[in-house]
Amino acid sequence: MKNVFILLLSVLLLNSCSNTKKKQLTIQEAIDVNAKAFINIPEINALSIGVYKKGKIYISHFGELEPGKDNTPNDSTFYEIASTTKTFTGTLLAQAIKDNKITLEDDIQTYLGESYDNLIYNNRKVKIKDVVTHSAGLPRSLPDDSEIWQSTSFDSLPYKLDSFGKDYTKENFLTDLNKLTLDKTPGEQVAYGNTGPQLIAHILEKVYGESYESLLKKYILSKAGMTQTKLELTVEEEKRLAKGFNDRGWLMPKTVDRLWSASGGLKSTLPDLMKYMQFQFDGNNEAVKIAHQIIEYENGRNFESGYFWHITKDEDEGTYYSVHGGAFGTQNYFMVFPEHNTGMVIVTNNSSRETPQRMIKLINGILEHIRDL
């Protein structure tokens, strides 16, 4: 009997310890604890976090935008959101599909106004769905910067890319598109890039007879109430744009897009990004619903891709949507977890090879505590 009592007491103590270790944090506590660990990384300067949970918004800012200046980011701070811009372009494409102006199966030559016979390989033409899933076989970027990526050191790369193609125009883009030689069958392999979203923006302008910027304002920004998300900032707004740094503390150049800016040209504040998050949970918006659908290919093949969203099916998180945006000196993650009625936006003005993994660790640390609240 004595042994049984000791065994029961041990179990109770273990359970007590276990419960202590798994103390449930509030959403704000979960943000603060994980943000502190992230901001203590020597290369990290500033961090902004937005959490959406069951209709409520939590926004927090940490660190300093410039080392030693004690200038913590705030709700007015603009960040470059880089490739998160692509999801805006994807949503506009979804809107065009809803409006019966485009279909995923359309040959892109239909919208280019002249013969682009070069955009075919193995008797397979490039379709809209190939472009939006990054499987069209297009180069990573136009103008083609592949040689710079291959021949330039990582530290020098941002400066070389910044000065590359400064006089490149939309007309140059379409001319180069007409000169491409595909070397793989469209729809077979994924190769992530910026050319596709720019091409989609051009096609959207043709089918609607409006500028890409006008379409953004009409179908997304105005509907979501986003007044602080812009392709171009005024002189005064530029003063609020976060400076970006690499892991050596070097000031990085800002992104300049002289084409449609559909791949990574948007600048936004955390409150506006959280409005965009709320937009993702709008069950009455058909374009959003379409944008979240996995694009299927023949024989059920898919690339875990929606309309420039990466779509993941996970045992714990369910089906969720994510996008990573990385500029020369800033990185962000935008993640939507519908089955948990949860969303997160993480932005830092530091960019290095390790930053994405560190941000994922931060996101998982917060999720662990708020997933089931």
pLDDT band at 178 (very low <50, low <70, confident <90, very high): very high
pLDDT reported for residue 17: 44
Hunting for tokens 């392999």 — which residue is that?
189
pLDDT at 322 over 50: yes
Edge to edge, what strands does the sheet with 267-268 contain?
Answer: 79-80, 267-268, 229-230
pLDDT at 99 over 60: yes
- Per-domain boundaries in the chain: 25-370
pLDDT at 10 over 70: no
Average pLDDT in the chain: 92
CATH class of the region 25-370: alpha beta
pLDDT at 131 over 90: yes
Residue-wise pLDDT tens digits, 225-254: 999 999 999 999 999 999 999 999 999 999
**End-to-end Cα distance, the chain:** 41
Give me the helices (H) in the chain, please. 2-21, 27-39, 85-98, 128-132, 146-151, 157-163, 170-177, 195-208, 212-216, 222-224, 235-238, 270-280, 286-291, 355-370
Instruction: Report the range of poorest mean pLDDT among 53-67, 95-109, 155-169.
Output: 155-169
